Amino acid sequence: MEEKEDLNKNPWTTLSSQDIYDNPWIHVREDKVLNPSGGKGIYGVVQFKNKAIGIIPIDAEGYTYLVGQYRYSLNEYSWEIPMGGGRLDTDILVSAQRELKEETGFTAKQWTNIARIHTSNSVTDEEGFIFLAEDLEAGEDEPEETEQLRVWRLPLAEAVQMAMDNRITDAISVAGLLKAARIKGI
């Protein structure tokens, strides 16, 4: 009888690991490795100190809200779903509720966790969660000092189309909008 290979077994061997960089949000390390074929190499890993949290607020009329801001690392303006970081020791729903309030002023009575994603799993361990927020109540936003935001109300179908034609390129936003469209039958 032929023995089946365990596809879940890690085929990489870490020979050594060196810390390269650390700040309050990320930690970067470089590992010397043997790859699955046995060749020597290096692997850089970015470890996040927060969970990525995305929210798709949907109001009673089927509209959603995008947040626009200039993204320093991309050197361009970006339309996205409301999102931010959630501390590792904080419940992801609590983080989602805080982020929605900070960026849009909304609170929501109904929350549905619709996705768990890895944002770029070839170089980072970042784990993200996406929520639908419904039964919205308006309030005052509370942006962080690093955020200069614009909030845009538009039909969910239009936001989905923006993801489809690459006007929205943020991975969490694209994944969340497409999943929300499927759930809402758009």
pLDDT of 2 > 60? The answer is: no
pLDDT for res 67: 96
Average pLDDT over residues 39-52: 96
Tell me the residue ranges of DSSP E strands in 23-163. Answer: 26-34, 40-48, 50-58, 63-71, 76-80, 83-87, 107-118, 127-137, 150-155
Side-chain-facing half-sphere of 18: CA atoms under 13 Å = 6
CATH class of residue range 50-184: alpha beta
Using the structure block, give the residue that is written with the tokens 């944002």: 119
pLDDT for res 140: 86
Average pLDDT over residues 111-134: 96
pLDDT for res 144: 72
Percent of the chain's residues with pLDDT above 70: 97
This prediction's pTM: 0.89
Average pLDDT over residues 116-145: 92
β-bridge mates for residue 156, sequence order: none
pLDDT of 80 > 90? The answer is: yes
Q: Domain ranges in the chain?
A: 13-48, 50-184
How far is the C-alpha of 162 from the C-alpha of 169, rounded, in Å?
9
Q: Give me the chain's average pLDDT, please.
A: 94
pLDDT for res 149: 87
pLDDT for res 1: 53
pLDDT tens digits, one per residue of 167-179: 999 999 999 999 9
CB 65 within 8 A of CB 71: no
